[in-house]
Chain A
């Protein structure tokens, strides 16, 4: 077991960190205040290959590995939770299922633009009646000759308003339950497809979140992803990968909060001493760092397992569960260490705390992760 990063991964981390500090951090407050999607950052990231990190060059990817991708999301999240999830959702929830399940034609058609960041991807699974209970899909897909007709709506879709390409789940056979769900590649200009209003949220406010609406939406037959009836399996596998991304986002948020807290407590003076000289401050930060470091090992281990094509489902669930709950805990403690100033929007920790909460919910709530883990343990 070699816990060392490769030369390339060390260089990548350096680049991600510099990029995050110079290009992403200065915008973080503004895109949160204005609920603005950071399109200019996406364009810069695309140029550097950050929108298709672990996919092969053959399809326009950067030829990297899963851990390199997780580290990218981590470094971005340290300074901006929103920018991190843009990359994560695009990569894990749209690029990945097409790469893993697509035909050669589908991969050649969609991946080059997605992996180069020319186009942004999204994933449509969640519906008003199907959240944690993902099998309760109401969106239907009926085959009519050379195309499917989709009807229904999805909600809470990350990157929804800006996505050019979406992987969408719909019911092709209502009677077959989970085995009646199929996956489709939907382009935003297909007839009958529209996007809903931007959802106002507690955190990651710059992230585009909205409904996807299908009203007799025409999807060519060739855009069926994988086989009919295999959609649920594709969705679950996609979420496994997505969990690594979200775990990395949570990890970064926790790390960023600790960095801010260390800096602040070394400057702030009360009772004639710097806050950092009080044992409470020291012990709090020690606990925060310890938990965050443990989360990092879980995230990196899950990424490595996926890279080796081993069964990583439980590892991803553990990473996401632990990292998300750590992020919420650590960011809350960071705000507490800042005191009154931490509650104001002058300092970034309150935004980090607001951003952290969603990591316990989306791409499988912490409860779902516990189901996955106990399931793997055989605890029934």
Chain B
């Protein structure tokens, strides 16, 4: 391979691949540009967006508004829709020519298809699904102090790492932190010997900057040279279909809002509040056995010993006392939130967060608070 990517000093700038689908930028692009801006500042280099497509130049300035100094735009009818072959070819040519030191992709279904192929072609390291990116060592160590159980000595010792038997200074390396083992383990990965260091970044995790019109106006648009042929494309896109969101069932749901006997004074109202909270979270409604026995919810909603056993990311129990049959169905949920008028209800023994209160008052407030928190991100 003619591309010598072990000459670390020859590589400069942070690049962000900005995905567009059918002429629209993905929301995660702005998160990544914002995060890339932070990294570029810590490294003292420029932040550049990389945009591929057909007649997409008009999208580029907006990326500047979130912090991009420059946007490289590669246009061709063959790049209109995403294909692994087409995009990998263009991106790798441009990277070989312009030599960025960091290349970020959003870890969308497409980013996770594209990133590894590019990394393999360029013979460089890629870290997938990152939830935290760091260059600056003090900031990185602060992060570890808060998010891990590592000892202070261990954290201090991370200024250098042993790479192939030699001490390597990691201060200018991109430290890419991501979950493994289904989320039970976090790992910080570096790519010390090759460039660019590549990462795919989980959507919805990085903070988006405020949009700055002046920055958008100042953003430079550059069209680098590249060549792409039919042979490079290798696959054919026959159609792109947007599907209506499928009905999620309890077993596969990430978020479940369950109701119990506590809604008895206004069953329809209670269920509606649960549905609204569930909708805000992108989840589904469940129920304790009492709600099914009373005919308030159909049997497929039942969580518990004789209902379904669930392991969602978040389980919110509204007006559920937490008898052992119910606990059996949800106790392995990652995060359990309980709302109950009675502060001695057994549900609080297994809840991560509890609010002692009237679910009819608390549930709508929680829905609003979640909405506000998501908008602020």
A–B contact (CB under 8 angstroms): yes
Partner-B contacts on A (CB < 8 A): 29, 267-268, 341, 346-347
Question: Distance (Å) between the CB of B307 and the closest chain A CB?
Answer: 10
Residue of A nearest to B327 (CB): A267
Can you name 10 extra interface pairs (CB under 8 A) apart from A267-B328, A346-B325? A29-B306, A267-B324, A267-B327, A268-B324, A341-B324, A341-B325, A346-B289, A346-B305, A346-B306, A347-B305
Residues of A within 8 Å of B328, CB to CB, are: 267
What 1/0 mask marks residues of chain B from 315 to 343 whose CB sits below 8 Å from any chain A CB?
00000000011011000000000000000
Question: Distance (Å) between the CB of B287 and the closest chain A CB?
Answer: 15
List 10 A-B residue pairs with CB atoms under 8 Å apart, sorted by A's residue number. Answer: A29-B306, A267-B324, A267-B327, A267-B328, A268-B324, A341-B324, A341-B325, A346-B289, A346-B306, A347-B305
What 1/0 mask marks residues of chain B from 278 to 294 whose CB sits below 8 Å from any chain A CB?
00000000000100000
Question: Distance (Å) between the CB of B163 and the closest chain A CB?
Answer: 42
Q: How far is the CA of A10 from the CA of B97 in the complex (A)?
A: 57
Q: How far is the CA of A168 from the CA of B304 in the complex (A)?
A: 46
Residues of B within 8 Å of A341, CB to CB, are: 324-325
Question: Distance (Å) between the CB of A72 and the closest chain B CB?
Answer: 26
How many residue-residue contacts, CB under 8 A, span A and B?
12
Residues of B within 8 Å of A268, CB to CB, are: 324
Q: How far is the CA of A346 from the CA of B325 in the complex (A)?
A: 8
Residues of B within 8 Å of A267, CB to CB, are: 324, 327-328
Residue in A29, A267, A268 with the greatest tally of chain B CB atoms within 10 Å:
A267
5 nearest A-B residue pairs (beta carbon): A346-B306, A346-B305, A346-B325, A267-B324, A268-B324
Residue of A nearest to B306 (CB): A346
Question: Distance (Å) between the CB of A242 and the closest chain B CB?
Answer: 34
Residue of B nearest to A263 (CB): B328
Residues of chain B at interface, number, CB under 8 A: 7
Residues of A within 8 Å of B305, CB to CB, are: 346-347
Q: Which of B56-81 contact A (CB under 8 A)?
A: none
Residue of A nearest to B323 (CB): A341
Question: Distance (Å) between the CB of A79 and the closest chain B CB?
Answer: 15
Residue of A nearest to B289 (CB): A346
Question: Distance (Å) between the CB of A13 and the closest chain B CB?
Answer: 24
Residues of A within 8 Å of B306, CB to CB, are: 29, 346
Q: How far is the CA of A268 from the CA of B305 in the complex (A)?
A: 13
What 1/0 mask marks residues of chain B from 210 to 241 whose CB sits below 8 Å from any chain A CB?
00000000000000000000000000000000
Q: How far is the CA of A29 from the CA of B327 in the complex (A)?
A: 20
Question: Distance (Å) between the CB of A349 and the closest chain B CB?
Answer: 12
Residues of A within 8 Å of B327, CB to CB, are: 267
Residues of B within 8 Å of A346, CB to CB, are: 289, 305-306, 325
Residue of A nearest to B331 (CB): A267
Residues of A within 8 Å of B325, CB to CB, are: 341, 346
Q: How far is the CA of A347 from the CA of B289 in the complex (A)?
A: 13
Question: Distance (Å) between the CB of B291 and the closest chain A CB?
Answer: 15
Q: How far is the CA of A113 from the CA of B250 in the complex (A)?
A: 40
Q: How far is the CA of A341 from the CA of B325 in the complex (A)?
A: 9
Residues of B within 8 Å of A29, CB to CB, are: 306
Question: Distance (Å) between the CB of A153 and the closest chain B CB?
Answer: 40
Question: Distance (Å) between the CB of B325 and the closest chain A CB?
Answer: 6
Residue of B nearest to A267 (CB): B324
Q: How far is the CA of A84 from the CA of B323 in the complex (A)?
A: 32
Residue of B nearest to A268 (CB): B324
Question: Distance (Å) between the CB of A350 and the closest chain B CB?
Answer: 13
Q: How far is the CA of A267 from the CA of B305 in the complex (A)?
A: 12
Q: How far is the CA of A267 from the CA of B350 in the complex (A)?
A: 12
What 1/0 mask marks residues of chain B from 164 to 207 whose CB sits below 8 Å from any chain A CB?
00000000000000000000000000000000000000000000
Q: Which of B81-104 contact A (CB under 8 A)?
A: none
Q: How far is the CA of A346 from the CA of B305 in the complex (A)?
A: 7
Q: How far is the CA of A346 from the CA of B293 in the complex (A)?
A: 13
Question: Distance (Å) between the CB of B221 and the closest chain A CB?
Answer: 56
Question: Distance (Å) between the CB of A30 and the closest chain B CB?
Answer: 11
Residues of B within 8 Å of A347, CB to CB, are: 305
Q: How far is the CA of A15 from the CA of B327 in the complex (A)?
A: 29
Q: How far is the CA of A66 from the CA of B305 in the complex (A)?
A: 36
Residues of A within 8 Å of B289, CB to CB, are: 346
Residue of B nearest to A345 (CB): B306
Q: How far is the CA of A341 from the CA of B306 in the complex (A)?
A: 12
Q: How far is the CA of A267 from the CA of B329 in the complex (A)?
A: 12
Q: How far is the CA of A267 from the CA of B331 in the complex (A)?
A: 10
Question: Distance (Å) between the CB of B228 and the closest chain A CB?
Answer: 48
Residue of A nearest to B346 (CB): A269
Q: How far is the CA of A175 from the CA of B305 in the complex (A)?
A: 59
Residue of A nearest to B328 (CB): A267
Q: How far is the CA of A347 from the CA of B328 in the complex (A)?
A: 11
Q: How far is the CA of A29 from the CA of B305 in the complex (A)?
A: 12
Residue of A nearest to B349 (CB): A269
Question: Distance (Å) between the CB of B169 and the closest chain A CB?
Answer: 49
Q: How far is the CA of A169 from the CA of B353 in the complex (A)?
A: 68
Residue of A nearest to B308 (CB): A26
Q: How far is the CA of A341 from the CA of B327 in the complex (A)?
A: 14
Q: How far is the CA of A55 from the CA of B327 in the complex (A)?
A: 45
Question: Distance (Å) between the CB of A267 and the closest chain B CB?
Answer: 6
Residues of A within 8 Å of B324, CB to CB, are: 267-268, 341
Question: Distance (Å) between the CB of B322 and the closest chain A CB?
Answer: 12
Q: How far is the CA of A267 from the CA of B328 in the complex (A)?
A: 8
Q: How far is the CA of A296 from the CA of B325 in the complex (A)?
A: 31
Residue of B nearest to A26 (CB): B308
